[in-house]
Structure 1
């Protein structure tokens, strides 16, 4: 029977699960809405329902471990999570709770943050495949990321390494929810793009849509304020990327998430800004790629991180 990893992807809107094989294929998929405003046990109950559905699938007999990718912050050393968008989970002992539900120590359970999970997925099956040193980023309502160093996922002691969204790139910039100022996230995430465009005079059409997607549509029509807002976001990303590359010597940067779906509206000014920031010889040739795995990245990455941790043969 094929070896499998049971993967769970926990976010603010959905909790998804799948069995993942050594080729990265998803089977027995299921999904439930996240009861984000419910109490802690109610959220956990949805996670266990997803796992119970997976356990009914024929491939469950081949499962060697459970990989959980969760919105953060996470603390993998304690197996705990504190997702910003799930208020009832603060330092919640997710790994112990899942392990207990599954019957103790019968199956190992590994927790990974959503940024490192996306990174593991893109390195295993996506745009960073074949590269030994990579930064993979999600640019959406927030900015997250993860690192591959010397060919392996590097989550760091707490599981939050590579969190590029909270590198400060503007000393006197706007306050960030993390408590710092001028972070990449507060300048380049979707809400920041929309907020800046509105502040500088852009106005939505008759629909009243003030999202970053609406700003992107205006930019495609040539609106100078919308274009300038994307360019400013790209500059912030470039500064953070170049600083990270100078620290750890990257080969490739992979960018996914809702803002990245704007395509060249983001990538063209990003490449231009990166030429101005990545000037040292060992960062000058840094390759920039769009992510490939889309919404499957969380599940594929949770499985990949668990398989790496378990040292499963033939997975990489």
Structure 2
């Protein structure tokens, strides 16, 4: 059964907008900070949290009766002085911990200083799912999540039932680059149970957390008054199921194959220069011919490959004069 038959939700683009700090005088324009400086500060703050906190890894290694399989963080101190930090948790049996570095230009936040900075997201996998593969940045994923600041303040919660999110487009909640890239490390479950009351339950799904610097989140803007500017974020994730090779715009091409420059960001691939990125555009080159008519599909409408009619090395669906 397709995910869209399990969870129905309207998927729209999330919008990042700038917010004035409460203590800034009305009318005073505060210039954005250097993305390079903020990246360094965020990484130091995140690593400080990771080295001074642990999670309930013992519960995941030997689940007690009635365990809810929820990640809980606590400070390494007092009776918890001997706990293994999150930063070192990859050494524990059954636990995965890692990081990914992503380069982001300041232009991504409409800043014109020409800077770019490397940002590191950290991921913790308390329990890996049983699916054979992980979702890609272009896929629809059914998940539950909780978003919190490093000080423990909860700013968002998806609730007990799953939401269907496209890892690039989101669902209108202002999905971040770091969120989508972090979920890619979690395998999902493969089975679900219809509870007969309009809800479904999942088993054997991936459970983890993502630690995201502000440059992979909202930087100098925020979708919520609960998120201060330049805030690193934490998301606890239950990755329940996903739709392999999601075709977000229905143009016949799996969304992940519309990452033309291969940088793991679908939003910056816009061949015809209109307002729509290719993964959300049914005519990628703007020549008036639908993309579906410029690619190779099988009899059932499944993607087979690209055409290059004039042999110039540019696929027809990206070539206005093919």
What interval of TM-score do these two structures reach, taking the shorter chain for normalisation? under 0.3
Larger Rg, first or second structure (1 or 2): 2
TM-score (norm: length of structure 2): 0.25
Normalized per residue, which structure has more helix?
A: 1
